[in-house]
Amino acid sequence: MKTETFDRLLADGDETTAGNYFVANYPPFSFWQKDKADEVQRALAQPAPAGVPLGVYFHIPFCRKRCHFCYFRVYTDKNADEIKGYLELGMRELARYAATPRIAGRKPKFVYFGGGTPSYLSVAQLAALTERMKALLPWDEAEEVAFEAEPGTLTEAKLQAIRDIGVTRLSLGVENFDKHLLEINGRAHREDEIYRAYDFARKIGFPQINIDLIAGMIEETDANWQRNIAKTIEFQPDSVTIYQMEIPYNTTIYQQMRAEGKLVAPVADWQTKRRWVDEAFSALERAGYTVTSATTAVRDPQKTKFLYRDLLWQGADLLGLGVASFSHVAGVHFQNLPDFETYTAAVRRGDLPIGRALVTTEEERMIRELILQLKLGRVSQSYFREKFGVVVAERFNQQLAELTRRGLLSEQGDWLVLTREALLKIDVILHAFFLPQHQNARYT
Protein backbone atom coordinates (compact mmCIF):
# COMPACT_ATOMS: atom_id res chain seq x y z
CA MET A 1 0.00 0.00 0.00
CA LYS A 2 1.76 3.10 -1.24
CA THR A 3 1.77 6.48 0.51
CA GLU A 4 0.34 8.07 -2.65
CA THR A 5 -2.59 5.66 -2.51
CA PHE A 6 -3.40 6.92 0.96
CA ASP A 7 -2.93 10.52 -0.17
CA ARG A 8 -5.46 9.93 -2.91
CA LEU A 9 -7.89 8.12 -0.64
CA LEU A 10 -7.70 10.71 2.08
CA ALA A 11 -7.94 13.84 -0.09
CA ASP A 12 -10.35 16.10 1.76
CA GLY A 13 -12.65 18.99 0.93
CA ASP A 14 -13.99 17.14 -2.08
CA GLU A 15 -17.34 17.89 -3.63
CA THR A 16 -20.10 15.28 -3.52
CA THR A 17 -20.29 13.68 -6.94
CA ALA A 18 -22.45 10.74 -8.04
CA GLY A 19 -21.51 7.24 -6.92
CA ASN A 20 -21.51 4.83 -4.00
CA TYR A 21 -19.34 5.72 -1.08
CA PHE A 22 -20.64 3.58 1.79
CA VAL A 23 -18.81 0.26 2.22
CA ALA A 24 -21.44 -2.29 3.30
CA ASN A 25 -19.78 -5.57 2.38
CA TYR A 26 -16.71 -7.20 0.86
CA PRO A 27 -15.65 -8.28 -1.78
CA PRO A 28 -17.26 -5.45 -3.79
CA PHE A 29 -20.68 -6.19 -5.24
CA SER A 30 -19.35 -5.70 -8.79
CA PHE A 31 -17.50 -9.03 -8.37
CA TRP A 32 -20.64 -11.04 -7.58
CA GLN A 33 -21.78 -13.10 -10.56
CA LYS A 34 -25.02 -14.20 -12.17
CA ASP A 35 -25.95 -17.86 -12.61
CA LYS A 36 -24.43 -18.97 -9.33
CA ALA A 37 -27.58 -20.45 -7.77
CA ASP A 38 -25.91 -23.88 -7.78
CA GLU A 39 -23.19 -22.60 -5.46
CA VAL A 40 -25.88 -21.37 -3.06
CA GLN A 41 -27.62 -24.77 -3.20
CA ARG A 42 -24.31 -26.43 -2.34
CA ALA A 43 -23.82 -24.07 0.62
CA LEU A 44 -27.32 -24.89 1.88
CA ALA A 45 -26.80 -28.63 1.57
CA GLN A 46 -24.43 -28.95 4.54
CA PRO A 47 -25.46 -28.44 8.18
CA ALA A 48 -24.05 -25.35 9.90
CA PRO A 49 -21.15 -25.86 12.31
CA ALA A 50 -22.12 -25.35 15.96
CA GLY A 51 -22.01 -21.79 17.19
CA VAL A 52 -22.73 -19.93 13.91
CA PRO A 53 -25.58 -17.53 14.68
CA LEU A 54 -28.44 -17.19 12.22
CA GLY A 55 -30.28 -14.00 11.33
CA VAL A 56 -33.24 -13.36 9.06
CA TYR A 57 -33.79 -10.17 7.07
CA PHE A 58 -37.05 -9.48 5.27
CA HIS A 59 -37.15 -6.68 2.71
CA ILE A 60 -40.43 -4.79 2.52
CA PRO A 61 -39.97 -2.79 -0.68
CA PHE A 62 -42.99 -0.49 -0.39
CA CYS A 63 -43.00 3.23 0.41
CA ARG A 64 -45.58 5.98 0.32
CA LYS A 65 -43.32 8.13 -1.84
CA ARG A 66 -39.80 7.83 -3.27
CA CYS A 67 -37.31 10.10 -1.49
CA HIS A 68 -35.09 11.98 -3.94
CA PHE A 69 -31.93 10.49 -2.40
CA CYS A 70 -33.24 6.92 -2.24
CA TYR A 71 -31.20 4.18 -3.91
CA PHE A 72 -33.14 1.18 -2.61
CA ARG A 73 -35.44 -1.05 -4.59
CA VAL A 74 -38.82 0.40 -3.61
CA TYR A 75 -42.30 0.58 -5.10
CA THR A 76 -44.89 3.26 -4.47
CA ASP A 77 -47.61 1.88 -6.72
CA LYS A 78 -48.44 -1.61 -5.41
CA ASN A 79 -51.99 -2.33 -4.33
CA ALA A 80 -53.11 -4.39 -1.32
CA ASP A 81 -53.40 -7.62 -3.36
CA GLU A 82 -49.91 -7.25 -4.78
CA ILE A 83 -48.51 -6.62 -1.29
CA LYS A 84 -50.34 -9.62 0.10
CA GLY A 85 -49.01 -11.77 -2.76
CA TYR A 86 -45.48 -10.51 -2.15
CA LEU A 87 -45.62 -11.38 1.55
CA GLU A 88 -46.90 -14.86 0.73
CA LEU A 89 -44.07 -15.41 -1.72
CA GLY A 90 -41.56 -14.23 0.89
CA MET A 91 -42.86 -16.96 3.17
CA ARG A 92 -42.66 -19.49 0.38
CA GLU A 93 -39.03 -18.47 0.01
CA LEU A 94 -38.44 -18.87 3.74
CA ALA A 95 -40.12 -22.31 3.73
CA ARG A 96 -37.75 -23.41 1.00
CA TYR A 97 -34.69 -22.32 3.04
CA ALA A 98 -36.08 -23.69 6.30
CA ALA A 99 -36.10 -27.17 4.76
CA THR A 100 -32.38 -27.14 3.83
CA PRO A 101 -29.75 -28.89 5.99
CA ARG A 102 -27.98 -25.54 6.62
CA ILE A 103 -31.08 -23.86 8.11
CA ALA A 104 -33.40 -26.64 9.32
CA GLY A 105 -33.84 -26.73 13.08
CA ARG A 106 -31.94 -23.50 13.71
CA LYS A 107 -33.53 -20.60 15.54
CA PRO A 108 -32.67 -17.05 14.50
CA LYS A 109 -30.76 -14.98 17.03
CA PHE A 110 -31.82 -11.78 15.28
CA VAL A 111 -34.53 -10.75 12.87
CA TYR A 112 -34.58 -7.55 10.82
CA PHE A 113 -37.41 -5.95 8.88
CA GLY A 114 -35.92 -3.43 6.46
CA GLY A 115 -36.96 -1.62 3.37
CA GLY A 116 -38.48 0.22 1.88
CA THR A 117 -40.87 0.83 4.69
CA PRO A 118 -41.86 -2.16 6.84
CA SER A 119 -44.27 0.12 8.72
CA TYR A 120 -46.16 0.62 5.43
CA LEU A 121 -47.77 -2.79 6.13
CA SER A 122 -51.13 -2.86 7.84
CA VAL A 123 -51.66 -4.30 11.32
CA ALA A 124 -53.38 -7.36 9.79
CA GLN A 125 -50.57 -7.89 7.25
CA LEU A 126 -47.91 -7.62 9.97
CA ALA A 127 -49.68 -10.08 12.23
CA ALA A 128 -50.25 -12.64 9.46
CA LEU A 129 -46.72 -12.33 8.12
CA THR A 130 -44.94 -12.74 11.43
CA GLU A 131 -47.17 -15.59 12.57
CA ARG A 132 -46.17 -17.46 9.43
CA MET A 133 -42.50 -16.60 9.84
CA LYS A 134 -42.49 -17.83 13.43
CA ALA A 135 -44.14 -21.10 12.39
CA LEU A 136 -41.41 -21.71 9.81
CA LEU A 137 -38.47 -20.59 11.94
CA PRO A 138 -39.36 -19.99 15.61
CA TRP A 139 -38.18 -16.68 17.04
CA ASP A 140 -38.33 -17.65 20.69
CA GLU A 141 -34.53 -17.43 20.95
CA ALA A 142 -34.21 -14.17 19.00
CA GLU A 143 -32.47 -11.60 21.16
CA GLU A 144 -33.28 -8.77 18.79
CA VAL A 145 -36.10 -8.07 16.37
CA ALA A 146 -35.40 -4.82 14.54
CA PHE A 147 -37.92 -2.88 12.51
CA GLU A 148 -37.53 0.22 10.31
CA ALA A 149 -40.40 2.69 10.44
CA GLU A 150 -41.36 5.85 8.62
CA PRO A 151 -42.95 8.24 11.15
CA GLY A 152 -45.89 9.19 8.91
CA THR A 153 -47.08 5.57 8.71
CA LEU A 154 -47.29 5.09 12.46
CA THR A 155 -50.51 5.27 14.43
CA GLU A 156 -50.63 4.22 18.07
CA ALA A 157 -52.46 1.02 17.06
CA LYS A 158 -49.82 0.15 14.48
CA LEU A 159 -46.99 0.77 16.90
CA GLN A 160 -48.70 -1.42 19.44
CA ALA A 161 -49.01 -4.15 16.80
CA ILE A 162 -45.32 -3.78 15.95
CA ARG A 163 -44.43 -4.20 19.62
CA ASP A 164 -46.86 -7.13 19.96
CA ILE A 165 -45.23 -9.13 17.18
CA GLY A 166 -42.03 -8.98 19.24
CA VAL A 167 -40.08 -6.01 17.88
CA THR A 168 -37.36 -4.94 20.33
CA ARG A 169 -35.57 -2.30 18.27
CA LEU A 170 -37.67 0.32 16.54
CA SER A 171 -35.73 2.48 14.12
CA LEU A 172 -37.42 5.73 13.20
CA GLY A 173 -36.39 7.16 9.83
CA VAL A 174 -36.50 10.79 10.93
CA GLU A 175 -33.61 11.96 8.68
CA ASN A 176 -34.32 15.65 9.43
CA PHE A 177 -36.68 17.64 11.64
CA ASP A 178 -37.26 20.53 9.27
CA LYS A 179 -40.56 20.64 7.39
CA HIS A 180 -39.13 22.38 4.32
CA LEU A 181 -36.09 20.10 4.06
CA LEU A 182 -38.23 17.00 4.42
CA GLU A 183 -40.44 18.25 1.63
CA ILE A 184 -37.77 19.28 -0.88
CA ASN A 185 -35.89 16.00 -0.32
CA GLY A 186 -39.04 14.06 -1.17
CA ARG A 187 -39.71 12.55 2.28
CA ALA A 188 -43.29 11.50 2.86
CA HIS A 189 -43.46 12.39 6.57
CA ARG A 190 -43.71 15.77 8.27
CA GLU A 191 -42.18 17.18 11.45
CA ASP A 192 -45.27 16.84 13.66
CA GLU A 193 -45.60 13.18 12.68
CA ILE A 194 -42.14 12.54 14.13
CA TYR A 195 -43.17 13.92 17.53
CA ARG A 196 -46.41 11.98 17.57
CA ALA A 197 -44.79 8.68 16.55
CA TYR A 198 -41.96 9.07 19.05
CA ASP A 199 -44.34 9.79 21.93
CA PHE A 200 -46.48 6.74 21.09
CA ALA A 201 -43.40 4.54 20.80
CA ARG A 202 -42.04 5.64 24.16
CA LYS A 203 -45.40 5.16 25.81
CA ILE A 204 -45.69 1.63 24.41
CA GLY A 205 -42.25 0.86 25.79
CA PHE A 206 -40.02 -0.46 23.03
CA PRO A 207 -36.80 -1.73 24.62
CA GLN A 208 -34.78 0.25 22.10
CA ILE A 209 -35.64 3.24 19.91
CA ASN A 210 -33.18 4.43 17.30
CA ILE A 211 -33.40 7.71 15.40
CA ASP A 212 -31.88 7.88 11.91
CA LEU A 213 -30.54 11.20 10.65
CA ILE A 214 -28.84 12.17 7.39
CA ALA A 215 -26.08 14.79 7.36
CA GLY A 216 -26.19 16.72 4.10
CA MET A 217 -29.73 16.67 2.77
CA ILE A 218 -30.48 19.20 0.03
CA GLU A 219 -30.51 22.74 1.53
CA GLU A 220 -29.09 21.60 4.89
CA THR A 221 -27.49 24.51 6.78
CA ASP A 222 -25.34 24.82 9.89
CA ALA A 223 -28.20 26.40 11.82
CA ASN A 224 -30.70 23.69 10.86
CA TRP A 225 -28.20 20.91 11.56
CA GLN A 226 -27.69 22.31 15.08
CA ARG A 227 -31.46 22.25 15.52
CA ASN A 228 -31.54 18.61 14.38
CA ILE A 229 -28.92 17.73 16.98
CA ALA A 230 -30.74 19.62 19.74
CA LYS A 231 -34.09 18.00 18.90
CA THR A 232 -32.52 14.54 18.84
CA ILE A 233 -30.92 15.03 22.25
CA GLU A 234 -34.22 16.36 23.60
CA PHE A 235 -35.85 13.04 22.62
CA GLN A 236 -33.18 10.95 24.42
CA PRO A 237 -33.43 7.97 22.04
CA ASP A 238 -31.48 4.84 22.98
CA SER A 239 -29.40 5.19 19.86
CA VAL A 240 -28.81 7.65 17.06
CA THR A 241 -27.59 6.66 13.60
CA ILE A 242 -26.20 9.34 11.30
CA TYR A 243 -25.41 8.74 7.64
CA GLN A 244 -23.43 11.07 5.42
CA MET A 245 -25.49 11.79 2.32
CA GLU A 246 -24.27 10.04 -0.81
CA ILE A 247 -25.79 10.25 -4.28
CA PRO A 248 -25.72 6.85 -6.04
CA TYR A 249 -26.59 6.70 -9.74
CA ASN A 250 -30.09 5.32 -9.22
CA THR A 251 -31.33 8.32 -7.22
CA THR A 252 -33.72 10.98 -8.49
CA ILE A 253 -31.11 13.57 -7.52
CA TYR A 254 -28.63 12.00 -9.94
CA GLN A 255 -31.23 11.87 -12.75
CA GLN A 256 -31.73 15.59 -12.25
CA MET A 257 -27.96 16.24 -12.23
CA ARG A 258 -27.61 14.32 -15.48
CA ALA A 259 -30.48 16.18 -17.11
CA GLU A 260 -28.82 19.47 -16.18
CA GLY A 261 -25.33 18.27 -17.16
CA LYS A 262 -24.01 18.73 -13.60
CA LEU A 263 -21.20 16.68 -12.07
CA VAL A 264 -21.46 18.04 -8.53
CA ALA A 265 -24.49 17.06 -6.47
CA PRO A 266 -26.60 19.84 -4.91
CA VAL A 267 -25.61 18.83 -1.38
CA ALA A 268 -22.79 19.78 1.01
CA ASP A 269 -19.22 18.61 0.29
CA TRP A 270 -17.68 15.71 2.21
CA GLN A 271 -15.69 17.92 4.54
CA THR A 272 -18.86 19.71 5.66
CA LYS A 273 -20.81 16.46 6.08
CA ARG A 274 -18.02 15.00 8.20
CA ARG A 275 -17.93 18.16 10.30
CA TRP A 276 -21.68 17.90 10.85
CA VAL A 277 -21.41 14.28 11.99
CA ASP A 278 -18.49 15.24 14.23
CA GLU A 279 -20.52 18.08 15.76
CA ALA A 280 -23.44 15.74 16.33
CA PHE A 281 -21.25 13.07 17.94
CA SER A 282 -19.56 15.65 20.17
CA ALA A 283 -22.91 17.07 21.29
CA LEU A 284 -24.25 13.57 21.93
CA GLU A 285 -21.14 12.74 23.97
CA ARG A 286 -21.65 15.88 26.05
CA ALA A 287 -25.21 14.64 26.63
CA GLY A 288 -23.89 11.29 27.94
CA TYR A 289 -23.91 9.20 24.75
CA THR A 290 -21.04 6.98 23.56
CA VAL A 291 -19.98 6.77 19.93
CA THR A 292 -19.96 3.06 19.07
CA SER A 293 -19.38 3.11 15.31
CA ALA A 294 -18.80 5.45 12.39
CA THR A 295 -22.55 6.04 12.23
CA THR A 296 -23.87 5.34 15.73
CA ALA A 297 -24.02 6.86 19.21
CA VAL A 298 -25.83 5.09 22.05
CA ARG A 299 -27.08 6.28 25.41
CA ASP A 300 -26.13 3.16 27.39
CA PRO A 301 -23.55 0.96 25.65
CA GLN A 302 -24.02 -1.81 28.24
CA LYS A 303 -27.70 -2.09 27.50
CA THR A 304 -28.06 -0.96 23.91
CA LYS A 305 -26.63 -3.48 21.47
CA PHE A 306 -27.21 -3.86 17.75
CA LEU A 307 -26.95 -7.59 17.14
CA TYR A 308 -27.89 -7.46 13.46
CA ARG A 309 -24.78 -5.38 12.80
CA ASP A 310 -22.43 -6.98 15.30
CA LEU A 311 -23.17 -10.63 14.50
CA LEU A 312 -23.25 -10.03 10.77
CA TRP A 313 -19.87 -8.33 11.02
CA GLN A 314 -18.55 -11.41 12.82
CA GLY A 315 -19.59 -13.74 10.02
CA ALA A 316 -23.08 -14.86 11.13
CA ASP A 317 -25.34 -16.52 8.58
CA LEU A 318 -27.90 -14.03 7.28
CA LEU A 319 -30.87 -15.19 5.29
CA GLY A 320 -32.22 -12.29 3.21
CA LEU A 321 -35.80 -12.68 1.99
CA GLY A 322 -37.63 -10.60 -0.58
CA VAL A 323 -36.74 -8.67 -3.68
CA ALA A 324 -33.07 -7.60 -3.97
CA SER A 325 -32.23 -8.86 -0.44
CA PHE A 326 -28.68 -9.73 0.51
CA SER A 327 -27.68 -12.99 2.20
CA HIS A 328 -24.49 -14.42 3.59
CA VAL A 329 -24.65 -18.15 4.27
CA ALA A 330 -21.75 -20.57 4.78
CA GLY A 331 -19.32 -18.03 3.34
CA VAL A 332 -21.38 -17.47 0.20
CA HIS A 333 -22.70 -14.00 -0.57
CA PHE A 334 -25.87 -13.82 -2.60
CA GLN A 335 -28.44 -11.26 -3.60
CA ASN A 336 -31.98 -11.93 -4.68
CA LEU A 337 -33.26 -10.89 -8.09
CA PRO A 338 -33.58 -7.11 -8.07
CA ASP A 339 -37.00 -6.64 -9.73
CA PHE A 340 -40.44 -7.32 -8.36
CA GLU A 341 -41.51 -9.24 -11.48
CA THR A 342 -38.42 -11.47 -11.82
CA TYR A 343 -38.25 -12.13 -8.08
CA THR A 344 -41.92 -13.07 -7.72
CA ALA A 345 -41.87 -15.19 -10.90
CA ALA A 346 -38.84 -17.18 -9.65
CA VAL A 347 -40.41 -17.91 -6.26
CA ARG A 348 -43.68 -18.90 -7.94
CA ARG A 349 -41.77 -21.36 -10.14
CA GLY A 350 -40.24 -22.85 -6.99
CA ASP A 351 -36.72 -21.62 -7.82
CA LEU A 352 -34.35 -19.91 -5.44
CA PRO A 353 -34.75 -16.28 -6.58
CA ILE A 354 -31.02 -15.58 -6.72
CA GLY A 355 -29.71 -12.81 -8.94
CA ARG A 356 -25.97 -12.88 -8.21
CA ALA A 357 -23.60 -14.61 -5.81
CA LEU A 358 -19.99 -14.96 -4.80
CA VAL A 359 -18.27 -17.85 -3.05
CA THR A 360 -15.76 -16.13 -0.79
CA THR A 361 -12.31 -17.43 0.11
CA GLU A 362 -11.15 -17.62 3.72
CA GLU A 363 -8.89 -14.62 3.08
CA GLU A 364 -11.79 -12.59 1.69
CA ARG A 365 -13.93 -13.49 4.71
CA MET A 366 -11.14 -12.38 7.02
CA ILE A 367 -10.80 -9.04 5.18
CA ARG A 368 -14.58 -8.64 5.15
CA GLU A 369 -14.78 -8.99 8.91
CA LEU A 370 -11.78 -6.74 9.43
CA ILE A 371 -13.08 -3.87 7.33
CA LEU A 372 -16.58 -4.13 8.74
CA GLN A 373 -15.29 -4.25 12.32
CA LEU A 374 -13.02 -1.26 11.61
CA LYS A 375 -16.28 0.66 11.19
CA LEU A 376 -16.76 0.17 14.92
CA GLY A 377 -13.63 2.26 15.49
CA ARG A 378 -11.75 -0.50 17.29
CA VAL A 379 -10.69 -3.98 16.32
CA SER A 380 -9.46 -6.80 18.54
CA GLN A 381 -6.34 -8.39 17.08
CA SER A 382 -6.76 -11.56 19.13
CA TYR A 383 -10.18 -12.11 17.50
CA PHE A 384 -8.47 -12.42 14.10
CA ARG A 385 -5.64 -14.54 15.45
CA GLU A 386 -8.06 -17.00 17.02
CA LYS A 387 -10.60 -17.12 14.21
CA PHE A 388 -8.40 -16.86 11.11
CA GLY A 389 -4.84 -17.47 12.39
CA VAL A 390 -3.91 -14.00 11.10
CA VAL A 391 -1.68 -11.51 12.87
CA VAL A 392 -3.35 -8.30 11.73
CA ALA A 393 -0.34 -6.13 12.64
CA GLU A 394 1.86 -8.20 10.31
CA ARG A 395 -0.58 -8.96 7.49
CA PHE A 396 -1.60 -5.28 7.18
CA ASN A 397 1.60 -3.69 8.47
CA GLN A 398 1.86 -1.15 5.64
CA GLN A 399 -1.72 0.06 5.95
CA LEU A 400 -1.48 0.28 9.73
CA ALA A 401 1.89 2.09 9.56
CA GLU A 402 0.44 4.67 7.14
CA LEU A 403 -2.59 5.25 9.34
CA THR A 404 -0.42 5.52 12.46
CA ARG A 405 2.01 7.92 10.77
CA ARG A 406 -0.95 10.15 9.88
CA GLY A 407 -2.23 10.10 13.45
CA LEU A 408 -5.38 8.18 12.47
CA LEU A 409 -4.78 4.95 14.38
CA SER A 410 -3.04 3.67 17.51
CA GLU A 411 -2.37 0.25 18.95
CA GLN A 412 -3.72 -0.03 22.51
CA GLY A 413 -2.86 -3.48 23.83
CA ASP A 414 -4.89 -5.95 21.81
CA TRP A 415 -6.90 -3.19 20.17
CA LEU A 416 -6.36 -1.19 17.02
CA VAL A 417 -8.14 2.07 17.71
CA LEU A 418 -9.12 4.63 15.08
CA THR A 419 -9.38 8.34 15.81
CA ARG A 420 -12.62 10.24 15.27
CA GLU A 421 -11.13 11.81 12.14
CA ALA A 422 -10.45 8.33 10.72
CA LEU A 423 -13.88 7.07 11.71
CA LEU A 424 -15.59 9.90 9.83
CA LYS A 425 -13.84 8.93 6.60
CA ILE A 426 -13.73 5.20 7.24
CA ASP A 427 -15.46 4.29 3.98
CA VAL A 428 -12.57 5.69 1.95
CA ILE A 429 -9.87 4.31 4.26
CA LEU A 430 -11.27 0.78 4.03
CA HIS A 431 -10.34 0.51 0.34
CA ALA A 432 -6.70 0.36 1.43
CA PHE A 433 -7.43 -3.03 3.05
CA PHE A 434 -8.99 -4.54 -0.09
CA LEU A 435 -7.04 -7.19 -2.01
CA PRO A 436 -5.20 -5.69 -5.02
CA GLN A 437 -7.72 -7.12 -7.51
CA HIS A 438 -10.56 -5.31 -5.71
CA GLN A 439 -8.89 -1.91 -5.46
CA ASN A 440 -9.74 0.79 -8.01
CA ALA A 441 -12.62 -1.40 -9.20
CA ARG A 442 -16.28 -0.41 -9.29
CA TYR A 443 -17.80 -1.10 -5.86
CA THR A 444 -21.41 -1.85 -6.80
Site residues (CB under 6 A) for ligand SF4? 63, 66-67, 70, 72, 74, 115-117, 150, 173
List of residues 6+ apart from 302 with CB closer than 8 A: none
For residue 368, the SS3 value is helix
Q: Indicate if the alpha-carbon torsion angle 305, 311, 313, 318 is positive or negative.
A: negative
Dihedrals phi, psi of 170, to nearest 5 degrees: -100, 125
Residue 46 or 256 having the CB closest to ligand SF4: 256
Least CB distance from residue 304 to ligand SF4, whole Å?
Answer: 23
List of residues 6+ apart from 80 with CB closer than 8 A: none
Closest Cα partner for 174 from 156, 147, 148, 194? 194
Residue 72 or 235 having the CB closest to ligand SF4: 72
Least CB distance from residue 345 to ligand SF4, whole Å?
Answer: 23
Residue 31 or 72 having the CB closest to ligand SF4: 72
Question: CA 416 to CA 418: how far, in whole Å?
Answer: 7
Helix axes 222-235, 270-286, angle to 10 degrees: 30
Side-by-side strand order, sheet with 326-329 = 290-291, 296-298, 239-244, 208-215, 169-175, 144-149, 110-115, 54-60, 317-321, 326-329, 332-336, 354-359
Residue 27 or 115 having the CB closest to ligand SF4: 115
Least CB distance from residue 307 to ligand SF4, whole Å?
Answer: 22
Least CB distance from residue 418 to ligand SF4, whole Å?
Answer: 28
Residue 67 or 154 having the CB closest to ligand SF4: 67
Question: CA 129 to CA 248: how far, in whole Å?
Answer: 32
Closest Cα partner for 174 from 116, 147, 213, 223? 213
Q: Is 355 exposed, middle or buried (0-12, 13-18, 19+ CB in 10 A)?
A: buried
Least CB distance from residue 71 to ligand SF4, whole Å?
Answer: 8
The residue sitting closest to ligand SF4, measured at its beta carbon, is 70
Least CB distance from residue 66 to ligand SF4, whole Å?
Answer: 5
Least CB distance from residue 148 to ligand SF4, whole Å?
Answer: 8
Q: How far is CA 330 from CA 83, 247, 407, in A?
A: 31, 32, 37
Residue 53 or 216 having the CB closest to ligand SF4: 216
Least CB distance from residue 426 to ligand SF4, whole Å?
Answer: 22
Residue 254 or 396 having the CB closest to ligand SF4: 254
